[in-house]
Chains A and B, each alone.
Chain A
Amino acid sequence: GAGVSQTPSNKVTEKGKYVELRCDPISGHTALYWYRQSLGQGPEFLIYFQGTGAADDSGLPNDRFFAVRPEGSVSTLKIQRTERGDSAVYLCASSSSGISGETQYFGPGTRLLVL
């Protein structure tokens, strides 16, 4: 079946603008994760959804970052007043139910560049 997909694949924006990044998880996966990967680093956790609710948002760096998953499938990561330091690859992953030991399948990422 189809894997995790993310759109857009690349996004260039200007400092101060608002952006939305979209993630389509594997069909039927209730757990969805957002990570951010800076150049030369491993992915860093941002937020985890179980169904429609954000079960853990402790990785969001500040209140400019927000994410939703209104119907328990597609998720949107929203960044307000973007800063140059937000430039990174934003990765989405999903797993069947969110229990430990379950494989997390990653999407191809959205490469965000803030000028």
Chain B
Amino acid sequence: GENVEQHPSTLSVQEGDSAVIKCTYSDSASNYFPWYKQELGKRPQLIIDIRSNVGEKKDQRIAVTLNKTAKHFSLHITETQPEDSAVYFCAARPPSTGRRALTFGSGTRLQVQP
């Protein structure tokens, strides 16, 4: 089955700096890659996703890049703010003919220092 590795496990940046979180996946058939943000004690919330027919996607200060050949994808947050502090999870999902559920990475705890 799918295996997703996520790095780093913790990341501390100064407010205004950029943050990058990287994930690799094992199943070359996976075609959907969402990123979730989870604040302490709260539910995971989707912040951005990318499908395998696209190499990059941006939404304001957040961007995701996908390299299908290398089987890795990254989350980029620019101009970080204290409210970006949370745990971020990447995930991968194969096509609908395979397992339907998301396989998550182990998470990155991002701390933005004011």
B100 & A109 in contact (Cβ 8 Å cutoff) = no
Chain A contributes a number of interface residues (CB within 8 A of B) equal to 28
Interface segment, one of B11-19, B39-47, B74-82? B39-47
A48 & B100 in contact (Cβ 8 Å cutoff) = yes
A42: which B residues are within 8 A, CB to CB? 4, 6, 89, 91, 104-107
Chain B contributes a number of interface residues (CB within 8 A of A) equal to 28
Q: Which of B34, B42, B104 contacts A103 (CB 8 A)?
A: B34
Q: Which of A4, A33, A100, A107 contacts B95 (CB 8 A)?
A: A100
For B90, the closest partner residue in chain A by CB is A42
Q: Is A44's beta carbon under 8 Å from chain B?
A: yes
A48: which B residues are within 8 A, CB to CB? 100-101
Q: Is A2's beta carbon under 8 Å from chain B?
A: no
CA distance A43 to B105 in the complex (A): 8
B42 & A101 in contact (Cβ 8 Å cutoff) = no
CA distance A31 to B93 in the complex (A): 15
Q: Which of A41, A98, A99, A100 contacts B107 (CB 8 A)?
A: A41
B103 & A45 in contact (Cβ 8 Å cutoff) = yes
A100 & B100 in contact (Cβ 8 Å cutoff) = yes
B31: which A residues are within 8 A, CB to CB? 100-101
B89 & A43 in contact (Cβ 8 Å cutoff) = yes
Q: Contact flags (1/0) for A94-114 with B, using CB distance below 8 Å?
A: 000011110111111100000
Q: Can you list 18 residue pairs at the A/B interface with Cβ under 8 Å?
A: A40-B107, A42-B105, A42-B107, A43-B89, A43-B104, A48-B100, A48-B101, A56-B99, A56-B100, A56-B101, A91-B44, A100-B100, A101-B32, A101-B49, A101-B51, A105-B46, A106-B45, A109-B43
Identify the A interface with B (CB < 8 A).
Answer: 4, 31, 33, 35, 40-45, 48, 50, 55-56, 58-59, 91, 98-101, 103-109
